[in-house]
Amino acid sequence: MAEWVDVCALDELDPEDVMRFDHGGRVYAVYRSENGTPYATDGLCTHEHVCLADGLVLGEEIECPKHNGRFNIRTGAALRAPVSVPLATYPARISAGRIEILI
């Protein structure tokens, strides 16, 4: 059953930034968009399983550090080759000054 899991304090993740979050043997990527909204996706690129938290957040997109493929951080959609398989996404929220994700 999915549960809200604490990731970090809000001020540990700047707007337009991403961090790696490991939980239950899985890797997630947790983001804040330009306007500060939190989002979460699987943390490994669907192309060659590189850690997306080493990539660049551009507006609502994450650019993979390896081959510059891009995903939408809100929907997980694959936006630019070589990625073609979308990322799984997870609900994220701010609660009492902390970022939580539902996994």
* 78 lies in the site for ligand FES, by CB under 6 A: no
Site for ligand FES contains 74 (CB under 6 A): no
- Pairing between strand 61-63 and 56-58? antiparallel
- Residue placing its CB nearer to ligand FES in the complex, 29 or 99: 29
Q: Give the residue among 91, 82, 84, 41 at the shortest CA–CA distance from 61.
A: 41
Return the residue of 16, 51, 67, 98 that touches ligand FES, per CB under 6 A. Answer: 67
Of positions 17, 33, 51, 66, contacts ligand FES by CB under 6 A: 66
Strands 89-90 and 38-42, how do they pair?
antiparallel
Q: Least distance in Å: CB of 67 to ligand FES?
A: 3
Segment 33-62, which members bind ligand FES (CB under 6 A)?
A: 45, 47-48, 50
Residue with tokens 């994700």: 101
Q: First-to-last CA distance in the chain?
A: 8
